Structure 1
Amino acid sequence: MASSGGDNCTLCYDDDGTSTEAVTWCTECEVLLCTGCEKHHTKSKASKDHKTMSTKDYHNLPKFMLEISSQCRDHKKKFELYCSFHACPCCVQCITDKHKKCQDLKPLSDILKQVKSSASVQLFEKDLKNVKENLEEIIKYLNSRMNTNNSQKTKAAEQIRSMRKSIDDFLNKLEQKILDDLESKHSQLKSKMNTLLQQLKTQANQISQLQSEFSKMTQYATELQMYVGLREIEKTTSEAAKYIDELKSGDNFGGKRT
């Protein structure tokens, strides 16, 4: 993993606190090296066969890979073995502490040999490609469905507004028809009642005239005139009373009245 000095040489920083620009990363020592330290590192018998990479390539690694170390975090020793049962690398101390009963222990170097060209790498690459293509296909489908849903929503809203307009138009026409019918019936009833009112006024005038004639008759008529006149008055009064009864028994006043 990278030192606290970032892209500064790890060895220079650890030795005397000097900040020297690093150019190389040693994958086995896990240190950043400046140009001078890199020369010494490649000449040293202990590290001349170590694999290195440029700091640029080092920083191109995925972030989670920068956290992967070749040393055991528990014992601070280099991983040398691989436990197939637990599927993990082990240091010598790990075998004593956690893998005493594990039988299938192999040299880590054998496991890592040609790992980049192994069939599993190609299989993982194919799986990643398939997963990516499936996700893209699902995203494409969902976007299509969202567009369709938006279109359906717009169309449904237009249909609702159109239906509302049709209902409003129907109700407006129905209202106007009812109002027209009401006006027609009102006009007919008004005309009928005006006719009836004129008839009643005529009848009332006739009775008023009879009342006046009756008063004069009682003052000035002879007994014969009185007798004959009473018969005429009785006839007219009887007809008027019958007319009134017929009005009361009919529907002229909203039904029979008592």
Structure 2
Amino acid sequence: MACNSPLCGICDSKQKCVPSTAWCFECNAGLCGECKELHILNKASKSHGIIPVNEFQKLPVSVLQHEETCKSHGDRYQAFCDKHECSCCSKCLIEDHKNCKDLTDIKDVVCMIKSSNMMLEIENSMREVTADLKRIQKNRAGNLSSLKLQRQAIKKEIQKARHVVNNHFDRLERTFIERTPYNRK
């Protein structure tokens, strides 16, 4: 049976096609309403970060593509070090971050980042800024074009005025020459 929306991971493993209504970041799986309730009640999974699936689908790809295991040790990340701005597994904590004081449980960090409306607001703000910059660029290009046209019009006006003034001086010169007594024969 084919479904278009994300499936409930638990129901899918039972060969049932049930759309998910929530997403668990710890399990990286969708949950239907019934399975979500059981997931929350289960002692092992009640602390997992769960958000509505429609909110999960709105998250940018860059947020969703995070590594879950340490590249150096292959263990799951346990904490986030604010000082070094990196995720740490239990071995990293012992080896490299034993003196670090600003450590946060990775579940809290991931859930906070992924479910945060701030990420969506920042993304929307960036789109608005991009649109504004394109509008400003188009406006400036229009202004430059308008200035070029105005410059050409002013140049033509100056040429016309110079032509009129030159003609006037030519007439004055001819008149002066014609009326000068010593030029008469």
Alignment TM class, shorter chain as reference = 0.5 to 0.7
| 3-state SS of paired residue (1:39) | helix
| 3-state SS of paired residue (1:90) | strand
Q: How does the TM-score come out when normalised to structure 2? A: 0.55
- Cα distance change on mapping 1:167 and 1:100 into 2, 3 Å: closer
Q: Distance in 1 between matches of 2:107 and 2:56?
A: 23
Q: Distance in 1 between matches of 2:45 and 2:161?
A: 89
The Cα of 1:61 is off from its aligned counterpart by: 2.4
Structure richer in strand, relative to its length: 2
RMSD: 4.5
Is the contact made by 2:77 and 2:106 (CA closer than 8 Å) also made in structure 1? no
Is the contact made by 2:5 and 2:19 (CA closer than 8 Å) also made in structure 1? no
| 3-state SS of paired residue (1:150) | helix
- In structure 2, runs of 5+ residues without a counterpart are 113-117, 168-185
Q: Which protein is bigger by CA-based radius of gyration?
A: 1
1:67 corresponds to: 65
Is the contact made by 2:23 and 2:53 (CA closer than 8 Å) also made in structure 1? yes
Q: How does the TM-score come out when normalised to structure 1? A: 0.42
Q: Distance in 2 between matches of 1:52 and 1:82?
A: 19
Deviations 1:157-207 (A, max 9, x none): 223444566788999x8xxxxxxxxxxxxxxxxxxxxxxxxxxxxxxxxxx
- The higher-RCO structure (CA 8 Å, 6+ apart) is 2
Is the contact made by 1:23 and 1:32 (CA closer than 8 Å) also made in structure 2? yes
Alignment partner of 1:104 is 2:108 = no
The Cα of 1:25 is off from its aligned counterpart by: 0.6
Q: Distance in 2 between matches of 1:56 and 1:101?
A: 37
1:54 corresponds to: 52
Aligned residue identity for 1:46: A
Q: Distance in 1 between matches of 2:108 and 2:42?
A: 24
Structure richer in helix, relative to its length: 1
Q: Distance in 2 between matches of 1:82 and 1:91?
A: 9
Corresponding pairs, count? 150
Deviations 1:44-63 (A, max 9, x none): 12112333111112122233
1:33 corresponds to: 31
2:10 corresponds to: 11
Deviations 1:16-45 (A, max 9, x none): 554321111113322111233223312312
- Percent identical among aligned pairs is 20
